[in-house]
Homo-oligomer: A and B are copies of this chain.
Amino acid sequence: MPVGTQASVKTVRNSDLLENNWQIILGNTYHLYLRPGADVIGNAGGLHRFMSWNRNILTDSGGFQLFSLSKLRKRSEEGYHFQSHIDGSSHLLTPELVIELQRTFGSDVMMVLDECLEQPSTRSRTEESLNLTLRWAERARNMHRGDRQALFGIVQGGAFPDLRRKAAEVLSGMDFDGYAIGGVSVGEPRNLMKRAVRSCIDHLPEDRPRYLMGVGKPEDLVDFVALGVDMFDCVVPTRNARGGAFFVPGGHINIRNARFRNDPLPVQPGCGCYTCRTYSRSYIRHLFKAREWLAPVLATLHNLHYFSVLMGRIRMAVEERHYTSWKKEWYRERRSFDPGIF
């Protein structure tokens, strides 16, 4: 899922997302509640109409943003008291308000409010936080049960496999429409991330979507689908694009590199995106060096296309039931490209 925190996938238009066949994008409750405000989105008739997007929208609750953006926050049993990172105004986000906001937004998938813990945290701190997250999940679930909008629970539990397993079991008992694994990809090493997913994913119901939050480098998608993950969101395709990083079969290249100064090839020869069909590496490098507005647009278009194609291949391999061999082949192909010389 491309990330459109503030109701816009950065630099691109809806038509670009439609062309790449994206079926669902992300919005963020914390951000949209602060700006433009739920009243504006409500007056527009919901988030879809506000941003003229007819396909699916998942709204994250904002637990992670409270953790990462709001310096002045105070957690209580009730919810989060915090000051806006925009204007310093005071707010209280409760599990119930987060559901109400997402109802106003009309998101297709709503997320419960959770607490995202700083890493590393002690076992007792993690357990205390998880128990609160589970009580909040229950309050959210009691608020909402319906057909039109799905509601997902979020597994926390930090670096402790038994806590994550317990979270998965307790949440499964609440019969959510889908389940997310949160609190990963917060700076921990990759093997810990894998352990966190492994410890809980098999304890989530197989007939509901399983969503790994904030994870999405190409190798992550390939590896975690193998572990049973169905959905991802990540700023990597769009944020890295704005820094000049283009994803290619061999990994990624930074187009600012001097070796592209006179390079007439498209960024990824054979790629079907507008950027690769139209412009050369030399030109795109110039746009980045000259800080032209078009530069991040062209990079975002390419990366979104790259990820869309990758996810399409992953889906096909899963459907055709040869994912393990496909995955091996993908890694082999990846190693065969040297992004340094191709």
Please report the total number of A residues contacting B with Cβ < 8 Å: 39
Can you name the residue of chain B whose Cβ is closest to the Cβ of A34?
Answer: B290
A50 interface residue per 8 A CB criterion = yes
Whether the pair B294, A10 counts as a contact (CB closer than 8 A) is yes
Residues of B contacting A331 with CB < 8 Å? none
Binds B, one of A198-206, A225-233, A245-253, A277-285: A277-285
Q: How far is the CB of A82 from chain B (nearest CB, A)?
A: 19
This protein's copies in its complex = 2
Can you name the residue of chain B whose Cβ is closest to the Cβ of A290?
Answer: B6
A180 interface residue per 8 A CB criterion = no
**Given A264-B44, A287-B8, do A15 and B52 touch, yes or no (CB 8 Å)?**
no
Binds B, one of A35-43, A71-79, A186-194, A320-328: A35-43
Residues of B contacting A262 with CB < 8 Å? 39-40, 43-44
Can you name the residue of chain B whose Cβ is closest to the Cβ of A9?
Answer: B294
Residues of B contacting A278 with CB < 8 Å? 13-15, 52
**Chain A 282-300 interface mask (CB, 8 Å, partner B; 1/0):** 1101110110111011100
**Given A286-B35, A287-B8, A289-B35, do A52 and B280 touch, yes or no (CB 8 Å)?**
yes
Q: How far is the CB of A267 from chain B (nearest CB, A)?
A: 13
Most buried by B among A14, A261, A283, A287: A283
Residues of B contacting A285 with CB < 8 Å? 36
Residues of B contacting A8 with CB < 8 Å? 287, 290, 292-294
Residues of B contacting A11 with CB < 8 Å? 293-294, 297
20 chain-A/chain-B pairs, Cβ below 8 angstroms: A8-B290, A11-B293, A11-B294, A12-B294, A13-B294, A14-B278, A36-B282, A36-B285, A36-B286, A40-B261, A40-B282, A43-B282, A44-B280, A50-B280, A50-B286, A51-B279, A52-B280, A52-B283, A293-B293, A293-B296
